Structure 1
Amino acid sequence: MSQSLLAFLLFALVSSISPGPTNLLILAHGARRGMRASLAPILAGCGAAAAVVLLVGLGLDELLARHAQVQHMMNWAGVVWLSVLAWRMLRNAGQPLDSASGKPFTALDAASLQVINPKVWMMAVAVIGVFAAPSLPIWQLALVFLLVALPCMTAWALLGVGSARWLSRPGRLLWFNRTLAVLLLASAWTAVLR
């Protein structure tokens, strides 16, 4: 294994496992809906993030740099959407886990969130700027990122599934959802206000 591939694997691991909007929503979804229901959002979210890496590597970052207004609008659309999701989480914070209330986090939601998530775009630009080389073609970077992201996001869902029993007490669930909502808001707003 080359040093550049090892360095990229470590970068992909850190950027995929660190708390971010999608991981936090997958955690909450896993706690509320279970692992089976979380598989489609995990696959879609990881696939979309890998697609962003591929598209940035193919030059989309240069196009966005020339049209800063589009990038600015994407950032704000992501922040608004994450704020709405955080508000929903706060509003339903005390709902029992087995409750059918609250909209599930779908595969389309996960993929769309990755496409407008500023953290994903910053990560993709860093990947291409630092790791793209003849020895690591862009398509390989995107594929390796996908293969690293899948178990990382799955770990967040499993953490949610594992915490479901502990969260069966209403007081714990209330504070868990409130904390996730605040973390979701913080991750969205810090990414755009930097």
Structure 2
Amino acid sequence: MPLVEFTALLVLATAMSFTPGPNTTLSTALAANRGLPAAMRFVVAVPVGWSLLLLLCAAGLGAAVVAVPPLRWAIKALGIGYLLWLAFKLAQSPRLGEADASRLSVGFWQGVALQFVNIKAWLLALTIVAGWIIGKDDGAARLGIVLPVMLVFAFTSNLTYAALGALLRHWLARGRRLLWFNRAMAAVLVATALWMVAA
């Protein structure tokens, strides 16, 4: 892969991975509510799920999703519904003691599955497959470069946001700060869902 293309990939990966979205919002909220160790299952699940999505898009699933509007709409509807459900659960955790597994928990497999209804993840996977892999003579070699790079970015961005949430944990324990933090994070998820409706 030429250096100019690799540099463009790094710029895209940075912009898409480190800007707020469903994954980074949940990483922050999980760590703020339940601590960094509890958030790590989700932090690890994001790159695993996204890698599976990228591989499936490279194998042709992306083209099928683009070509079949009902499939696109189903993915979008599931994604919107799941984000709204997570926002509802998040908005209901007013104190650290109440942010237990019954209220706010996104496990490893849920985190993997979330990538398949995350429009931002689909946009990134489809963009990378179309721009860096499909139609190139060295497509398989390019996939071998792109996949580990994106794994690192997905893990690092979510770990960074989770670490931020964990750093805020002690401060959020006072008064009603956690309630307002959770409502703000829920609002980000709702805004993402609204963006998905408009997209």
Task: Establish whether TM, by shorter chain, passes 0.5.
Answer: yes
1:80-159 matched pairs, under 5 angstroms:
80-92=81-93, 94-97=94-97, 99-100=99-100, 101-132=102-133, 133=136, 134=138, 137-159=142-164
Change (3 A) 1:192 1:127: farther
Counterpart for residue 27 of structure 2:
26
Summarize deviations over 1:111-131 as a string: whole Å, max 9, x none: 111111111111111112222
Please tell me whether residue 193 in structure 1 is matched to residue 198 in structure 2.
Answer: yes
Residue in 2 that maps onto 1:166: 171
List per-residue Cα deviations over 1:21-74 (Å, max 9, x = no partner).
111011010112222222221111111112212221221111122322112111
- 1:98 shift after superposition: 6.6
One-letter code aligned to 1:66: A
Output the aligned Cα RMSD: 1.8
Amino acid in structure 2 at the alignment position of 1:180: M
Which position in structure 2 is the counterpart of 1:4? 5
Ranges in structure 1 where 5+ consecutive residues have no aligned partner? none
Aligned position for 1:181: 186
Percent of pairs with identical residues: 26
The Cα shift of 1:97 comes to: 4.9
In 2, Cα distance between equivalents of 1:121 and 1:139: 19
In structure 2, the residue corresponding to 1:165 is in which secondary structure?
Answer: helix
How many Å separate the matches in 2 of 1:181 and 1:191? 15
**2:64 matched to which residue of 1?**
63
1:11 & 1:175 partners in 2: Cα distance? Answer: 32
- Per-residue deviation, 1:138: 2.2
Map Cα deviations across residues 166-189 of structure 1 (whole Å, 9 max, x no partner): 101132111111111011110122
Please give the TM-score of this superposition, normalised by the length of structure 1.
0.91
Residue 17 of structure 1 corresponds to: 18
Q: Could you say if the C-alpha distance between residues 77 and 98 of structure 1 is closer, same or farther in structure 2, counting changes exceeding 3 Å?
A: closer
Instruction: Supply the AA of the counterpart residue of 2:163.
Output: L
Aligned length: 193
Structure 2 residue runs of 5 or longer lacking an equivalent are: none
TM-score in terms of structure 2 length: 0.89
Counterparts of 1:38 and 1:3 in 2: how far apart (Å)?
36
Q: Residue 106 of structure 2 aligns to which amino acid in structure 1?
A: F
The CA distance in 1 between the partners of 2:88 and 2:28, in whole Å, is 17
